[in-house]
Amino acid sequence: MEERLNKWLGRMGVCSRREADRLIEEGKVLVDGKRAAAGQKVSEGQTVVCCGRAAGRVGQEKELPRPVLLAVNKPKGIVCTTSDKDRAENIVDFLGYPQRVYPIGRLDKDSQGLLLMTNQGDLVNKIMRSGNAHEKEYIVTVDRPVTDGFVKKMAAGLWLPDLERKTLPCKVKKLEERTFSIILTQGLNRQIRRMCAACGCQVKSLKRVRIMNICLNGLEEGACREVRKEEYQELLRQLEGSNSLSAKDLDMRRNVKTHFIPANLDIKK
């Protein structure tokens, strides 16, 4: 049975599907010694190498990694991609975790705070799909006073010229003179910074403190911890009904009358 290469890499804990697509495009993934192609499928018995490291043999289920879900407090200056274009240390190398893990979404180089890292591709997609409307909370300090008008404008949604789209309504609350909290249910590229710029101010510091029910709390900067069993169970509860498929894939599934079955993971306490 064939499977898309990017999905297989995600299932094997090598990287997310999005990262797999990028690595394939850059020629860093080989299948049976040959450069992989975008959209390629793999079948049982084929050998995959990613970034010079053996990723495994397709169909060898005994090689599947133990499911891992980490909460990480990412420091500023660390990037969430393995690309070298930023010429900065990436979070995977910085963390040095003994199992292969990769980030669920991103925090830009100048931002800090909570980042979830895992080796489970379906979990990544369920949390990341904006259509699933999962909350992410941030604490932001800007270079100007936070006014009632600013709060209302941010909360109502803003047109972002660079992205040619309007942000969804969100929850915004003033905390201090120049600091506010914001809860988003979408994840556009550098969204908060672009929103602040559209309101005539610049971000001085940006820290993510919550993703759904997982909170940063007292986790030290640069440290990580495995998500606790009760946290994970609540996360799964909130993910019920969420899908890991794109709109295009969903349409295809509806047309052939098939149904998505959520993964049943068992992360240790």
> Annotated catalytic sites, by residue?
108
User: What does R_g of the chain's alpha carbons equal in angstroms?
Assistant: 20
**φ and ψ at residue 160, rounded to 5 degrees:** -105, 105
Sign of CA dihedral 162, 168, 174, 176: negative
Residue whose tokens read 């397709």: 58
Instruction: Extract the tokens encoding 223.
Output: 């440290």
Do residues 174 and 188 lie in contact, with contact meaning Cβ atoms separated by under 8 Å? no
User: How many C-beta neighbours within 10 Å does residue 197 have?
Assistant: 17
Question: 44 burial class (0-12, 13-18, 19+ CB within 10 angstroms)?
Answer: exposed
* 3-state SS assignment for residue 147: coil
Q: Who's near 180: CB < 8 A, 6+ residues apart?
A: 139, 140, 142, 146, 150, 151, 154, 172, 173, 174
Distance CA 66, CA 89 (A): 26
Side chain identity at residue 179, one-letter code = T
Instruction: Extract the tokens encoding 97.
Output: 């975790």
Distance CA 252, CA 195 (A): 34
